[in-house]
Amino acid sequence: MRRSAVAGLLTVALATVPVLAQPQIESVELGFNGRFLPGALTPLSVTLRHSGPAQNFTLEVSQEVRDFTERSLRERLRLPISLGLGARKTLSFDFPIKSVSTPVRIALLAGEREIALTEIDVRERWSENALVVGLAVQPMPAIEPIEPERLPRRWTSYDGVARILWGRLDPARLTAEQRTAMLGWLVRGGELIILSGENWHEQFSPGEASPETAQGWWAHLLPITNGRIVRRALNGQEVSWVEGALRAGARVVTSDAGRPLIWERPLGHGRVLLVALATLPETIRLPERNSDKVFEQDQLIVKALGALVVPFPSREVIGGLLLAFIVGVGLGGILASRRTVSLWIALASGVLSLAIFQYQHSAEFSHEKYSVHLGVVRIWAGEPIAWEQDWYGVFSRRSGEGILPISADCVRSVAWRAAMRPTGTVTVEVASPRMRVLRFHSERDSVRFFAAERMTDPPVQFTVNRAVSPPQIHVYNRSSLSLQDAVVRIGNDFYKVGPIAPQTELIRPLSEMGRISKTEWLTSLPEGRRLLWHQWGAESVGPTLIGWFEAGSVWAKMEREARTVVRLVTVDGGAL
């Protein structure tokens, strides 16, 4: 009896060893204190534990969304991971939660076999409006307090955040990744509100006003310089008040008895607000962020892409010409009066037939997929990052599985019309920190649209030297592409610069460049470029460099795809 019991326990133990050795999903953290904005990228943190031998796995995050017509869209994000013996690893990434009625599914795969699974019910965690995050502030309604150590290290994690309220917190506590992420969020349209007053010296560290240095990144954000604390009367009480000199490009937005109360500094499409007090007066109402801006841009671009004539190769036409050529040359050979002429005609027929046959099966001719890539590169004066937006239209001639490699921080599917949703399954594979590979199914003669964004080092630098007469422009094209048809806009005047080769520095007086009006410049643009400028051209008060990165047709051999690329480049040269 005892031996049977021992044998049974041993059998059970041996049977459970493989199960226990499998990796486990230990915990999942979502959003900011569990809160998120539907439709926006939401930060997710997944902790895995593995007690078995070293092995490669794939972490898959997915959600299936159905509309009122029961059409289904399933988005999947796949991340390759490697787990060693006894490993405990935490993965942090961003995923678009588009529905609050269906759970988010997180699975761990070995190959295509599912070995661990957890589902997150998001019905009680969502927010109707973009989130407001508070750092070292007193508890307030509708604010999500967060510790500085838990601030995101990717700008995409801030997608559902409208503004950050910054209180008694030393900015030196943020890491370089956190600073870059916050700056990326700001230039994309975020709003940072800094409460100063009595804790001013806790926020401000003297140093070089450059966002690239740990000491000076905060001073670079502030709308004022030479800040100092004074005592002022407000509503019958004496309070600690911050004063300072207004930075170039900044402005006073609120005053109290003639004294500046709130300063504003635009930063890309976002802004930084500095409040002279340690608390925000209840009488101050700040504008809400426009959450429809990205959606409106997407609809404009898919409309433009959908109206394009796609240059698919016409095999039938070439095949017909080939047959007509062979028949015509053959008849000419039969009717030739001289045998030598007949032989030469036959030889020419064979050579040309072979040439047309080879062309018909060449890469440039035989592609089954054509993608159009329209993009905008925005660069601001004094900022160490550039914001790149790209839209892709993938036109498929035959049904099948599509592959689209994209260099981006985030990618999303875009519907053809506002009332429609793309259907099917879209899988985003993270090939590297900056490379995404999209996999999707395309129907015959169909088109799929995608939008991508990324923050990167500025590929072009531009300044205007006003210390000399006449003023000089300084342009440095740091990219590997030629900047085509560059012009400098100052007010309503445009100055022709011309093409700037890769890795080339250009210094030229304005007086040596031809001046044209804005109407003349717009008239000279091809239709595609004019469309990009009208919808995404950045109008600024200061001088602006405008150029284009363009490739007429690029053959992607591995994906059997031809691609047309046009990107508008705008570089702010600073205020005059």
* CB-CB contact of 183 with 72 (8 Å): no
Between the alpha carbon of residue 218 and those of residues 161, 162, 173, 202, 253, the distances in Å are: 20, 20, 11, 12, 20
Neighbours of 513 (CB within 10 A): 16
Residue 2 lies in a domain: no
Residues 341 and 435 in one domain: no
| Residue 570 pLDDT class (50, 70, 90 cuts) | very high
Q: Answer yes or no: is 9 within a domain.
A: no
Dihedral sign, CA of 208, 212, 213, 218?
positive
Q: Do 507 and 441 belong to one domain?
A: yes
Q: Are residues 323 and 372 in the same domain?
A: no
Residues 6+ apart with CB under 8 A from 535: 297, 300, 301, 304
Where does the pLDDT of residue 294 fall: very low under 50, low under 70, confident under 90, or very high at 90 and above? low
Query: Do both 138 and 32 map to the same domain?
Result: no
pLDDT at 38: 93
| Cβ neighbour number for residue 138 with a 10 Å cutoff | 13
At 317 the pLDDT is 59
Q: Which comes out higher in pLDDT, residue 557 or 523?
A: 523
DSSP class of 215 = T
At 200, list the tokens.
């001013």
Phi, psi for residue 399 in degrees, rounded to 5: -70, 150
Cα dihedral across residues 92, 96, 101, 104: positive or negative: negative
* Average pLDDT of span 225-250: 88
What pLDDT, on a 0 to 100 scale, did the predictor assign at position 553?
A: 60
Residue 37 falls inside a structural domain: yes
Strands 161-166 and 191-195: parallel
Dihedral over alpha carbons 170, 176, 177, 178 (to 10 degrees): 10
**308 and 324 share one domain:** no
- Whether residue 477 has pLDDT greater than 80: yes
The answer to whether residues 405 and 365 touch, using CB atoms and an 8 Å cutoff, is no
Q: Region 385-397: what's the mean pLDDT?
A: 89
Section 55-84 average pLDDT = 86
Least confident span in 151-155, 172-176, 309-313, 535-539? 309-313
Same domain, 149 and 248: yes
Say how far apart CA 451 and CA 374 lie, in whole Å.
10
Parallel/antiparallel/unpaired status of strands 400-407 and 435-442: antiparallel
Residue corresponding to tokens 């080092």: 457
Residue 7 lies in a domain: no
For residue 538, tell me if it sits in a domain. yes
Q: In this structure, what token pair is assigned to residue 29?
A: 């953290």
How many structural domains are present in the chain? 4
Between CA 576 and CA 572 the distance in angstroms is 11
Domain of 256, CATH number, reads 3.40.50.880
The CATH number of the domain where 102 resides is what?
2.60.40.10
Run of H or E including 245: strand 237-246
DSSP reduced 3-state for 324: helix
Predicted confidence at residue 540, as pLDDT, reads 73
Q: What is the token pair recorded at 250?
A: 């900044």
**Average pLDDT of the segment spanning 244-273:** 90
Mean pLDDT of all residues in 147-175: 93
Q: Cβ distance 160 to 130 under 8 Å?
A: yes
For position 274, what pLDDT does the model report?
94
Residue-wise pLDDT tens digits, 178-217: 999 999 999 999 999 999 888 787 776 555 455 566 567 8
Domain-embedded: residue 308: yes
Residues 516 and 564 in one domain: yes
Residues 109 and 226 in one domain: no
pLDDT tens profile 30-54: 999 999 999 899 999 999 999 888 8
- Residue 236: give the domain boundaries: 131-284
Q: What is the DSSP string of 512-545?
A: GS-EEEHHHHHHHS-HHHHHHHHHH----SS-EE
Question: Is residue 15 included in any domain, yes or no?
Answer: no
Asked whether residue 393 falls in the same domain as residue 509, the answer is: yes
**304 and 269 in a common domain:** no
The answer to whether residues 361 and 455 belong to one domain is: no
Q: What is the pLDDT of residues 323-376, one digit of tens each?
A: 766 666 666 666 665 566 666 666 766 776 776 666 665 544 556 778 888 899
In this structure, what are the phi and psi dihedrals at residue 385, rounded to the nearest 5 degrees? -130, 155
Is the distance from CB of 133 to CB of 157 less than 8 angstroms?
Answer: no
H or E element: which one contains 271? strand 270-275
**Would residue 10 count as lying in a domain?**
no
pLDDT in tens, 414-446: 876 644 556 678 899 998 888 999 999 888 878
Question: Among residues 120, 140, 170, which one ends one of the domains?
Answer: 120
Of 138, 196, 128, residue with least CA distance to 162? 128
Same domain as 572, residue 539: yes
Among the candidates 366, 387, 404, a domain finishes at 366
pLDDT at 16: 42
